[in-house]
Structure 1
Amino acid sequence: MKIAIGSDHGGFDLKEVIKPYLIELGHEVVDFGTESHESCDYPIYGQRVGEAVSFGDCDRGIVICGTGIGISVAANKIPGIRGGVCTNEFMAAMSREHNDANVLALGARVIGEGLALRIVKVFLETEFAGGRHQRRIDKIREIEKKYLK
């Protein structure tokens, strides 16, 4: 899989831990920044990752800020993005299985590195269940279409 990844300054260190892990798992990684601990604005990186996934340039995305909340809100503004903050493996599995999430949001100040790597692995390995869940994803797409102008 081709994975887009991005973070603000608060998520920079965790992003740098996750990137080689993704490569070790056999994925291609596209880093959309940031490149340092210098204070920056998370919406920029949420948007970049969201666009890469929405436009089909990348298969899935990972966004990281201090809590994962702000950057996930930014990524979710991009049409076609279904991203969620996950703080454990169960949430990661359900985000994929039930919600067909295509962007994973992590909070670098909320979870440790070991847990983050386990969450990433589950997120990437879990398939969408379809079935009754597809009906719900279709309803989400209808909501999105209503507000696209």
Structure 2
Amino acid sequence: MASNRTLETSDKTALVEAEVYRWYNLFFPWSRGMSSQSEGAIKPLYDALADDFRVVLTDGQIMERADYWERLWGLHGKRAGSPESHITNLSITPLPGGFFLTVFDLVKDGITKKKVDSALMRLDENSPSGISWIYVHESEHERAAA
């Protein structure tokens, strides 16, 4: 029985990991103007946000889901020419009740600052990926010298 629970947790953790990469793989072309500026190109990101979603941006601004839609829509092409970010140090901690604490760095080649995102996510059969984002805290830090 214990091995089944482990497998289930492993499968759920893999689902969360896939969601992190799915989100970024949609956001990158959108923010660089490489995808069409249509609702269909960005709505899958918004649909993965829980109804009670909140985000704290690197500047300390706090946004709810509806405000974040406006931010997402406004970011189309705004980061054109910006180097691609790489997700590193991804850590997913399963919590009771189908929740997951997810932490990862976003680093860009040649850029000394990195973005650190922490997210509270949960299993959600109504979300396109089976996972919804509840809370995200973005921060920016200097990268350690190599």
User: Highest CA radius of gyration, 1 or 2?
Assistant: 2
